[in-house]
Amino acid sequence: MHSLSAVVLMVTAAIGLWILTGFWSGKDRDTAIPPPEPLADLQLSPEQQQSLRHAEDVLVRRCMRDRGMDFHVAGTAEAPASLPNPYGLLDSAEVAERGYGLHGAAPVPSDPRLTDRERDALFGTEASQKTIPLAEGGELVVHTDGCFYQAQTELYGEDWKRLLHGEETLAAKIVARVNRDPRVNATQHTWVRCMRRAGYSVTTLEDVRPDAMRRMEREASDRADGEAEFNALLDQAARDVACQKRARVEPAIRAAQKAVERSVVRGHQHDLGELKTLRAEALATARRLGGATE
């Protein structure tokens, strides 16, 4: 029996693609209004994400064992309370605790060395290649004989890849249109002036966190420099959230998104409803698999 050491990215990458997360968590936020994000009623909590990851891992390993391979899923670092807001909005409580949320991130594990047999069993072969046409044009390509695909299909249903792509396309359209809204642009200019008065050279809200990540990555090899950079980013994040409040960025984005989303989702309600149903069924399956470790 051959033993594999699975990479988190390999086994759970698709989960990250189809779940656009953003719910707040924590007892002190039970009554808070979450920041605006596209298609919020379709989002999952961090706990639900973790439940689905575990269920998928269980199903993948069962499939691999049926093919004579003992598949071990590598342990994952504790998931953050929430993923970054797509508009770059910050929450005061999270900023006070974690800044931009970059400190203590676990390094991405390197890919394991897989034999051809192992790779084919996990990801499938071209002999089983299937194309899935997309409503917006183009197509997705899947290999239906792979354990990865089969586990996901068992958990989420046959149509989830197509429906997910549709949701992601709509969400991207909503964010792009909101960012072009004159009200949002005006408040963002006010935010930029506030940040630059404090010495921070910024351009747009959505670029701040990627820039902070690059700064941390440059200092990753030196612990002292990394800590210094993180502390500097803590100060910047505190100023950032204060400037966002002063400029009233969130109310402008919330108002713009309400109008934009209503227009963008028109004609897509059926597919979005189907996807919501598939996610509810996947969560029910995940609960049944909650205690499974095989």
Strands 129-133 and 139-143: antiparallel
pLDDT tens series, the chain, 294 aa: 444 433 333 333 333 333 333 333 333 443 467 889 999 988 888 889 899 999 999 999 999 999 999 877 655 445 545 678 999 999 888 888 888 877 544 454 555 677 889 899 999 999 999 998 887 778 889 999 999 999 999 999 989 989 999 999 999 999 999 999 999 999 999 999 999 999 999 999 988 988 888 888 877 666 777 788 888 888 999 999 999 999 999 999 999 999 999 999 999 999 999 999 999 999 999 999 986 665
Question: Would you kindly state where each structural domain of the chain is located, as residue ranges?
Answer: 2-288
User: Residues, the chain, total?
Assistant: 294
pLDDT at 103: 57
Tokens 């994952």 -> residue? 76
pLDDT at 53: 92
Q: How many Cβ atoms are within 10 Å of 26's Cβ, its own excluded?
A: 12
pLDDT at 98: 83
Q: Contact 77/106 with Cβ under 8 angstroms?
A: yes
The residues, ordered by sequence, that sit 6+ positions from 10 with a Cβ below 8 Å of its Cβ are: 111, 122, 148
Beta bridge partners of residue 73, listed in sequence order: 6
CA 135, distance to chain mean position in Å, is: 23
Q: Taken in order 26, 247, 100, 10, is the CA torsion positive or negative?
A: positive
153/56 Cα distance (integer angstroms): 10
pLDDT at 81: 52
pLDDT at 2: 44
Strands 129-133 and 69-73: unpaired
DSSP track, the chain: -EEEEE-HHHHHHHHHHH-------SGGGTTSPPPP-TTGGG---HHHHHHHHHHHHHHHHHHHHHTTEEEEEPP-PPPPSSPPPTT----HHHHHHHTTTTTTPPPPPPPPP--HHHHHHHH--GGGEEEEE-TTS-EEEEETTSHHHHHHHHHH-TTHHHHHHHHHHHHHHHHHHHHT-HHHHHHHHHHHHHHHHTT-----HHHHHHHHHHHHHHTTT-HHHHHHHHHHHHHHHHHHHHHHHHHTHHHHHHHHHHHHHHHHTTT-HHHHHHHHHHHHHHHHHHHHTTT---
pLDDT at 231: 84
pLDDT at 82: 63
pTM of the model: 0.76
pLDDT at 251: 96
218/207 Cα distance (integer angstroms): 17
